[in-house]
Structure 1
Amino acid sequence: MVLSALRGALGFLTRLPVQGTERSWEAFRRTPVAFVLAGYVVGGIAALPLALPLPLPTTAALYLGTLYLLTGVTHVDGLADTADASVVHDESTDRERRRSVLKDSETGVGGTLAVALVLAALALGTLGMAGAGPRVALSLAIAAEVGSKAGMATLVCLGDAAHEGLGSALTEHADATALVPVFLAGLPVVAFAAPLGTPAVVAAFLGGPCVALLVLRWARSTLGGVSGDVFGATNELGRVVGVHAGVVAWTLL
Structure 2
Amino acid sequence: MSGFRSAFSFFTILPIKGELEPDLIAYLPFVSLFDAAVGVSLYVAVYRYSILMASFLSISSIYMLNGLNHVDAVTDTGDALMVRDKTRLKDVLLDHHIGAGGLFVFLFIYLLSFISLSATRPYMAIASIITAEFLSKSTMMLILHRSRPLFEGIGSAFIDMYKRHPYAYTAEFLIIPMAISLIFPAAIILATVLTLLFYVILRKLLNLKFGGINGDIAGFTGETVRSILIFTVFMLSQSSMLSTYDILSKIISLL
Provide the rounded CA distance (Å) in 2 between the counterparts of 1:17 and 1:211. Answer: 35
Matched, 1:109 2:100: yes
The CA RMSD over aligned residues, in Å, is 2.1
Provide the rounded CA distance (Å) in 2 between the counterparts of 1:150 and 1:161. Answer: 18
Provide the rounded CA distance (Å) in 2 between the counterparts of 1:149 and 1:60. Answer: 20
Does the aligned pair in 1 maintain the 2:124–2:233 contact within 8 Å? no
- Identity across the alignment (%): 21
**What is the TM-score normalised by the length of structure 2?**
0.83
Matched, 1:98 2:89: yes
Compared with structure 1, are the counterparts of its residues 136 and 6 closer, same or farther at alpha carbon in structure 2 (3 Å cutoff)? farther
Matched, 1:248 2:239: no
Deviation at 1:204, TM superposition (A): 4.4
Provide the rounded CA distance (Å) in 1 between the counterparts of 2:59 and 2:156. Answer: 31
Write out aligned runs for 1:131-146 (5 A).
Answer: 132-133=121-122, 135-146=123-134
Does the aligned pair in 2 maintain the 1:162–1:224 contact within 8 Å? yes
Larger mean Cα displacement after TM superposition, 235-244 or 154-163: 154-163
- SS state at 1:66 partner: helix
Return the letter of the residue paired with 2:8: L
Does the aligned pair in 2 maintain the 1:145–1:205 contact within 8 Å? no
Does the aligned pair in 2 maintain the 1:211–1:237 contact within 8 Å? no
**What is the TM-score normalised by the length of structure 1?**
0.84
Matched, 1:179 2:173: no
Matched, 1:66 2:70: no
Matched, 1:26 2:9: no
Deviation at 1:211, TM superposition (A): 4.6
Write out aligned runs for 1:1-253 (5 A).
Answer: 3-22=1-20, 25-28=21-24, 31=25, 33-52=26-45, 53-90=48-85, 94=86, 96-129=87-120, 132-133=121-122, 135-175=123-163, 176-177=166-167, 178-193=169-184, 197=185, 199-206=186-193, 209-252=196-239, 253=247
Return the letter of the residue paired with 1:144: A
Which structure would you say has the larger RCO, counting Cα contacts within 8 Å and 6 or more residues apart? Answer: 1
Return the letter of the residue paired with 2:6: G
Provide the rounded CA distance (Å) in 1 between the counterparts of 2:6 and 2:72. Answer: 21
- SS state at 2:238 partner: helix
Does the aligned pair in 2 maintain the 1:36–1:147 contact within 8 Å? no
Return the letter of the residue paired with 1:162: L
Runs of at least 5 residues in structure 1 that lack an aligned partner in the other structure: none
Provide the rounded CA distance (Å) in 2 between the counterparts of 1:103 and 1:47. Answer: 34
Deviation at 1:182, TM superposition (A): 1.9
Runs of at least 5 residues in structure 2 that lack an aligned partner in the other structure: 240-246, 248-255
Size of the aligned set, in residue pairs, is 235
Return the letter of the residue paired with 1:46: G
Larger mean Cα displacement after TM superposition, 42-51 or 140-149: 42-51
